[in-house]
């Protein structure tokens, strides 16, 4: 891989001189530390924390002074970081070069990873429908050039991926512009969501993952795989014991293929524990992890030690089998809601929309059959108290030749609404849609 892949900004990233001074301090009984501006341990208010889990089990977490102090370890609270690394290796068969660090949520990690690899104006390849927050608050804000890659039910189409790269390369050679932005180079990064993709719900099959990795090797492109829905794979209309748990999950990761160190995998505790922890983890080559740690440490002085210690204690308390039981329970909750949503759609909207049968995630992606663009439908639904996500929000390429590209899709989220609200909402939605025929 090329040696000059870092962005101009990230070439200046360091851990800072203060951390270097601290790391060089000899440790021993005779060492007297007079260098750091750390609060005194006796000033900390918390002595212990007790957590009552979903099954009434109690986990007591001794609140040691280090858990209330600044997080000196830029890679995360070591018990949790080690758990994340071992867990990722067991679930996805990582290569030996990969290392793991704890992150302050996947959203923050995405911001740091793109800052590491991209300069303003650089091109990034993205699934044609994707996580809208990433487009609005990272790609557009940082003035990256987004290139939408066409998808089908199995995700990114490899032939289309290569066609767009070749088109970009040709534009560079010919000095032309693409979507009004001068094409400066071959795209440096591909961003994708491999499992239960947001918003479409599709997952990348094995042969397609291999094709995508081969293309990225050919053109020397980094791959950011953002996989928050990995644990939310489920079996519809099945018992809790029939859910995948951990052992039955299908990995759609490109990490097992990553012989070059070009994959950066982002996992999240938000979807399978709770978003309030604001925690995730990143897995990549050692040199990438070191650079990410530099920036996260410089921005935050290390992550939230209390959140990390609580999650680490839960993982230790559960062990593999306890965590698997918890994940199965969660998968059953999602499975029931997904099945109810599917049955309601089949009952009320079979002639109004098309959809895929969900196998994971929080959403159903509907293609409306009798309208070319869902914007007016979205407005009508909202006026009558039914809130959905219009597909154009997730559309990477929204305009072409100055005109908005029609989008006939809407996204329904079934994860948070009650069973009654889902049934009633879909029935009301069908009535409103019929008025647009």
Number of H helices, E strands in the chain: 11, 19
What is the distance between the alpha carbons of residues 279 and 273, in angstroms, rounded to a whole number?
Answer: 10
What are residue 386's phi and psi, to 5 degrees?
A: -115, 115
Average pLDDT, the chain: 89
Query: How would you class 21 by CB atoms within 10 Å of its CB: exposed for 0-12, middle for 13-18, buried for 19 or more?
Result: exposed
82 versus 72: the higher-pLDDT residue is 82
Q: What pLDDT score does 433 carry?
A: 92
Q: In this structure, are strands 280-285 and 155-156 parallel, antiparallel, or unpaired?
A: unpaired
Q: What is the DSSP secondary-structure string of 232-286?
A: GB--TT--STTS-TTTTPPP--SGGG-SSS-EEEEEESTTTT-GGG--EEEEEEH
The beta-strand segments (E) located in 104-219 are 123-127, 145-149, 151-152, 155-156, 177-178, 181-182, 189-192
Instruction: Please determine, for residue 303, whether its predicted confidence score (pLDDT) is greater than 90.
Output: no
In this prediction, residue 13 has a pLDDT band, given cuts at 50, 70 and 90, of confident
Q: What pLDDT score does 183 carry?
A: 43
Q: Are 122 and 10 in contact (CB under 8 A)?
A: no
| Average pLDDT score over residue span 218-238 | 95
What are residue 194's phi and psi, to 5 degrees?
A: -80, -20
pLDDT tens-digit map of 136-181: 999 999 999 999 999 999 999 999 999 999 999 887 654 545 444 4
Q: What pLDDT score does 185 carry?
A: 64
State which H helix or E strand residue 61 sits in: strand 58-62
Question: 346 in helix, strand or coil?
Answer: helix
Instruction: Please determine, for residue 218, whether its predicted confidence score (pLDDT) is greater than 70.
Output: yes
pLDDT tens-digit map of 403-428: 889 999 999 999 999 999 999 999 99
Instruction: Please determine, for residue 384, whether its predicted confidence score (pLDDT) is greater than 50.
Output: yes
Give the HSE-up count for residue 428: Cα atoms under 13 Å, Cβ half-sphere. 15
- The CA-based angle 149-165-392, given to 5 degrees, is 20
Instruction: Please determine, for residue 19, whether its predicted confidence score (pLDDT) is greater than 80.
Output: no
What is the distance between the alpha carbons of residues 7 and 153, in angstroms, rounded to a whole number?
Answer: 34
What is the distance between the alpha carbons of residues 375 and 381, in angstroms, rounded to a whole number?
Answer: 10
Q: What pLDDT score does 173 carry?
A: 52
């Amino acid at each position: 891989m090329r040696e000059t892949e870092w962005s101009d900004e990230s070439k200046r990233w360091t851990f800072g001189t203060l951390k270097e001074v601290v790391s060089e301090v000899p440790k021993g009984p005779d060492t007297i530390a007079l260098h750091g501006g750390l609060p005194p341990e006796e000033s900390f208010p918390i002595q212990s924390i007790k957590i009552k889990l979903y099954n009434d089990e109690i986990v007591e977490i001794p609140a040691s002074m280090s858990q209330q102090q600044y997080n000196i370890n830029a890679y995360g609270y070591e018990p949790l970081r080690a758990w994340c690394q071992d867990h990722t290796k067991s679930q996805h068969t990582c290569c030996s070069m990969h290392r793991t660090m704890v992150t302050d949520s996947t959203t923050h990690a995405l911001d740091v990873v793109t800052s590491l690899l991209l300069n303003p104006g650089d091109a990034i390849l993205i699934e044609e429908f994707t996580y809208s927050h990433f487009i609005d608050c990272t790609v557009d804000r940082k003035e990256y050039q987004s290139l939408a890659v066409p998808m089908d039910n199995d995700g990114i189409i490899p032939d289309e991926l290569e066609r767009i790269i070749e088109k970009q390369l040709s534009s560079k050679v010919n000095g032309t512009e693409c979507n009004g932005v001068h094409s400066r180079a071959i795209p440096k990064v591909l961003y994708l969501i491999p499992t239960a993709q947001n918003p479409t719900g599709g997952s990348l099959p094995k042969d397609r993952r291999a094709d995508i990795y081969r293309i990225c090797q050919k053109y020397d492109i980094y791959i950011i795989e953002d996989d928050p829905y990995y644990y939310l794979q489920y079996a519809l209309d099945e018992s809790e014991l029939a859910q995948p748990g951990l052992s039955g999950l299908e990995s759609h990761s490109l990490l097992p293929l990553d012989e070059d160190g070009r994959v950066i995998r982002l996992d999240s505790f938000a979807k399978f524990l709770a978003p309030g922890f604001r925690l995730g983890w990143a897995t990549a080559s050692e040199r990438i992890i070191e650079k990410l740690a530099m920036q996260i440490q410089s921005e935050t002085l290390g992550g939230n030690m209390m959140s990390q210690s609580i999650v680490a204690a839960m993982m230790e308390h559960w062990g593999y089998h306890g965590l698997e039981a918890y994940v199965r329970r969660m998968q059953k909750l999602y499975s029931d809601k997904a099945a109810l949503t599917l049955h309601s759609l089949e009952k009320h909207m079979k002639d109004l929309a098309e959809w895929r049968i969900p196998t994971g995630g929080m959403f159903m992606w509907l293609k409306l059959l009798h309208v070319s663009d869902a914007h007016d439908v979205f407005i009508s639904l909202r006026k009558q108290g039914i809130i959905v996500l219009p597909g154009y929000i997730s559309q990477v390429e929204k305009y072409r030749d100055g005109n908005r590209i029609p989008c006939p899709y809407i996204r329904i989220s079934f994860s948070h609404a009650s069973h009654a609200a889902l049934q009633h909402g879909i029935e009301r939605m069908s009535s409103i849609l019929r008025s647009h025929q």
